[in-house]
Amino acid sequence: MPSIIDVQNVSKYYHRGAESIQVLDNISLTIETGQFLALMGPSGSGKSTLLNLIAGLDQADQGRIVVDGLDITRLSETQLANWRAGHVGFIFQFYNLIPVLTALENVELPLMLSRLNRKERREHAQTALALVSLDDRMRHYPRQLSGGQQQRVAIARAIVTDPTLLVADEPTGDLDRNSAEDVLTLLDSLTRDLGKTIVMVTHDPRAARKAHVMKYLEKGLLTDAPQAVVSECV
């Protein structure tokens, strides 16, 4: 399988006043097309930071990140924004839907940056909502939906542009067991049926169990998951 994401010797520092803190220390990682990767590690280990770099939300201080043949560390802020709009789908822990838009409008939102016309946008959004089994909740506002339903709307929003890469930061972190199960099944079918590449940060062993690959981040260093973690997930 060809690799779709190639993280090469990436370091990231945060500056707090005069002192600078190294959050990622010379990280390298390759992810293959269609792979479902779970990124684990203790709180504050830099998981979200790494995910943000891969998704083009933040800039690395050292190293290269090549996604689908494109070195995204060389893109300007605007170029990155355009690249994200076309290539990356985002799923967050707290869903991050726009509260004044209905489920359908939320899903339609990313398509406003595409060349589709209004009718096509609507159709794509409806298809995506049907895929997450929420076609009967299209006119609902986020506050009228349960957490699990909101997260499914967020997944529909993430896939509506047909991105090559999906990133998810603790997508089940705020959900009860059943809703989490639904969301994970959905993510699993996205890789299985649609061949999406997924990078997911999680603390949840059950979530990690769905992934094909597990990576472990601790104190800014990336390793394969330690045996203790793996056994917990099996």
Partner 1 sequence: MRLKLLFRNAFRHKLRTGLTVVGIGVAILAFGLLRTVVSAWYAGVDASSASRLVTRNAISLVFTLPVSYRDKIRSVDGVNRVSYGSWFGGVYINEKNFFANFAVEADNYLSLYPEFILKPEEKTNFLRDRKGCVVGKKLAARFNLSINDTVTLKGTIFPGNWDFVVRAIYAGRDASIDENQFFFHWDYLNETVKKKYARRADQVGFYMIGLKKPETAADTSRAIDHLFKNSYAETLTETEKAFQLSFISMSEAILTVIELVSIVVIVIIMAVAANTMAMSSRERAGEYAVFKTLGFGGRFLVMLIFGESIVIAGLGTGLGMALTYPAARAFRSSLGNFFPVFQVDPETLYLDMAAGMMIACISALFPAWRAVRVRIADGLGRIG
Ligand X SMILES: Nc1ncnc2c1ncn2[C@@H]1O[C@H](COP(=O)(O)OP(=O)(O)OP(=O)(O)O)[C@@H](O)[C@H]1O
Stretch that binds ligand X, among 40-48, 74-82, 131-139, 156-164 (CB under 6 A): 40-48
Cβ closer to ligand X: 49 or 191? 49
Q: How far is it, in rounded angstroms, from Cα 220 to Cα 12? A: 9
Select from ligand X, Mg ion, partner 1, none the partner in contact with residue 43, using the beta carbon and a kind-dependent cut-off of 5 to 8 Å.
ligand X
Cβ closer to Mg ion: 36 or 92? 92
Question: Is residue 44 a contact residue for partner 1 (CB under 8 A)?
Answer: no
Q: Which residues pair with 169 in a beta bridge?
A: 201
Select from Mg ion, partner 1, ligand X, none the partner in contact with residue 46, using the beta carbon and a kind-dependent cut-off of 5 to 8 Å.
ligand X
- Tell me the closest approach of the beta carbon of residue 13 to ligand X, in angstroms: 9
Place of tokens 């993430």: 158
Question: Is residue 93 a contact residue for partner 1 (CB under 8 A)?
Answer: yes
- 105 sits in the region (left: phi over 0; alpha: psi -120 to 50; else beta) called alpha
Q: Are 66 and 100 in contact (CB under 8 A)?
A: no
Q: Which of 35, 48, 172, 179 binds ligand X (CB under 6 A)?
A: 48
DSSP element (H, E) containing 62: strand 62-67
Residue 80, CA distances (Å) to 73, 161, 220 in order = 9, 16, 24
Question: Is residue 130 a contact residue for partner 1 (CB under 8 A)?
Answer: no
Binding site for ligand X (CB under 6 A): 14, 16, 23, 41, 43-49
